[in-house]
Structure 1
């Protein structure tokens, strides 16, 4: 595909990273696309909780527009949507089901879904919870891009009747996530919004080790943690950390902790963007285990896997500095080779190139050549 693509994305948020991992995922991917000359319009529902926490209101790598009503938005952007090479709807978009139905009724060239929450989405559908995607809509998409890979893709096609499931993992903006050279001030840190199903692991792999190592320093950054949590005195709390401060945060840790939601552990092959961010900043990672993790980052070569508080204590107190730095360097190399925004953008472009134009659009505009 030689000519630049015109892509429209309707996602949860690009402007605000507050309380979600979608914004940084989209930013890395779209920056990668823009660097290759592709044109992107991102349409974001204007909601108060993101409007009051916008850390990227005017991106320089794409056009960003806000809307409050689906019907009004489609009236304004209908021509752009119909002429785009691909229209991509993200997971957790407000009124997602209504939006998808409206888009499916238009003569689009290609309609795709990008699920940045695949295990959560599938678990919700299994329970009959159709918050932002209906089961009947799965076959609508020309491609179902999935945050999860591996065996999850087979399930999406066989059990949920998607036409084609394609892995599109999260990625990292390698130009912004670099080691800053700052001296580490924390022995172990964690960056993540509070989640009820992640908190037991945070308790086990950070809070309890902090109690056992009162002279070590720990940090947890992220919003929405309840006041009822009993934080040890050597655990520092940061309520919200904007992406502009992530690289410094990771660089000032001897180790960073990765914690995975239960639905993602059950599904496997679901790497968090935090894994790639920490590795890009050369912060050695301690993580819980899930299937597919060691395919991306081999254990004891590029990552340390922990199950118990003592595993973390042993790593923090017993791992020599040469090994610590080499684990960080190996993870950094692997991420630079295959998990940057540029690499992920090329995967998306290649996938779009492999999709035929929809017959509804071909009949409307038969003279236009297939991308």
Structure 2
């Protein structure tokens, strides 16, 4: 028996702009594949100047994108939220606690939170500094979709009262990230927005190797790097690359680097969207280590995890070309077999229907919207 299509509303950080965030490409791959399953998707995005100035997908063809200026304007979408079969609120949404309050009060379908930053969220909740999710809200979302799997899921249910915590890793659209046959311009590259807690790893696994090997070529792409960083002369800096330029960037490198944020390493089981995207292009990956990595890609067979600058240089100088290509091909095959957007959309579909089955018809909402100054409910 064919299951009926769903009407899904997502309130996320950004779909329209990939500038300075990994959320946009995550949502694009997931929701495009979800819509391909026959579902209807609407994405509500807060209209903020830093994304308005860098929109690279202003009119997606797989869903309806609607911008709202503030909490008052969000109220105009109340009917849409009420009528949806499922509503998802994402991490890092501006004024996300207030947005979540409205969704929890208005929505009549499944109410889910999608955390693309779970370890950072939990650190913020413990410190009382999380601006986009209130600790008390977690028990009222029917479903907590987490970027992080492993023991964190049990922690969300046991310590925070989530009715159902489910892993929903990032993924990749293989059509958007194909394997390209390019003559390498760089021996090692890295693509990612600057983050203070990633910089020591970038220093250890790319910048220091570049200092020690002036004959090799390196590249770092991404915005917001401080002006005071001393880049070796053999490191090419690219401030920003739109998603459609990512495959060519990866293909221009013999190897590319995956760097994980400190909170993600501590939690484990937190593969970044960049890891899946780079692997999809067939470019061999060098990565830091974290618990659960082997459940995504097998170290030494599908991904390489050197710990020191010298170990990185040994890979760049001594690995036979045939072995380099084999590692890249193996990673691509593993990601396409388990971590494509189509796989992730099927998981989302199953999680939402499972959550709907758990809800008792006519059950009262646990949450009642708290008033926000200057905004009526």
| Residues 166-175 or 79-88, more deviating | 79-88
Alignment size in residue pairs: 363
**How far does residue 306 in structure 1 lie from its aligned partner after superposition?**
1.6
Work out the CA distance in 1 between the residues paired with 2:126 and 2:308.
31
Give the conservation status (yes or no) of the 8 Å contact 1:114–1:145: yes
Matched-pair contact (CA < 8 Å) for 1:108–1:361: no
> In 1, distance between residues paired with 2:283 and 2:67?
36
Deviations 1:334-371 (A, max 9, x none): 1001111111000000111112365576789xxxxxxx
Matching residue of 1:368: none
What is the SS of the residue equivalent to 2:270? coil
Which residue does the alignment assign to 1:185? 185
Q: Secondary structure at the match of 1:355?
A: helix
Residues 300-337 of structure 1 deviation map (CA, whole Å, 9 limit, x = unaligned): 10000021111111110111111111111111111001
Q: 1:256-271 counterparts in 2 under 5 A?
A: 256-271=256-271
Residue aligning to 1:314: 314
The aligned counterpart of 2:27 is 26
Provide the residue aligned with 1:369 in structure 2: none
Task: Note the 1:10-89 alignment, pairs <5 A.
Answer: 10-74=11-75, 76-89=76-89
- Which SS does the other structure have where 2:355 is aligned? coil
Moved more, 45-54 or 180-189: 180-189
Instruction: Give a deviation string over 1:43-78, Cα, whole Å, max 9, x none.
Output: 00000000000010111110000001223222x222
TM-score after normalising by structure 1: 0.95
Alignment CA distance shift 1:155-1:363 (3 Å)? closer
Q: Secondary structure at the match of 1:19?
A: coil
Which residue number in structure 1 is paired with residue 199 of structure 2? 199
For 1:212, the equivalent position in structure 2 comes to 212
5+ residue gaps, structure 1, are 365-371
Tell me the distance in 2 between the aligned counterparts of 1:362 and 1:80.
21
Once the two structures are superposed, what CA deviation does each residue of 1:222-264 show, in whole Å capped at 9, x if it has no partner? 0000110000000000000000100101111100000010000
1:242 corresponds to: 242
The structural deviation recorded for 1:85 is 1.1
Q: Tell me the equivalent position of 1:151.
A: 151
Match of residue 327 from structure 2: 327
Residues 300 and 284 from structure 1, CA distance in 2 versus in 1: closer, same or farther, beyond 3 angstroms?
Answer: same
Q: Which portions of structure 1, spanning 4 or more consecutive aligned residues, are displaced by more than 3 angstroms?
A: 357-364
Q: Per the alignment, in what secondary structure is the counterpart of residue 106 of structure 2?
A: coil
Instruction: Tell me, in whole angstroms, the C-alpha distance in 1 between the residues paired with 2:107 and 2:181.
Output: 51
The SS at the match of 1:54 is coil
Aligned residue number for residue 232 of structure 1: 232
Aligned alpha-carbon RMSD (Å):
1.4
Structure 1 counterpart SS, 2:88? strand
Q: Distance in 2 between matches of 1:315 and 1:249?
A: 20
Q: Where do 5+ consecutive residues of structure 2 fail to align?
A: 366-377
1:124 maps to what in 2? Answer: 124
Contact 1:91–1:116 at 8 Å: present in 2 too? yes
Tell me the TM-score normalized by structure 2: 0.94
Counterpart of 2:170 in structure 1 is 170
* Cα pair 2:84 2:107 within 8 Å, conserved: no
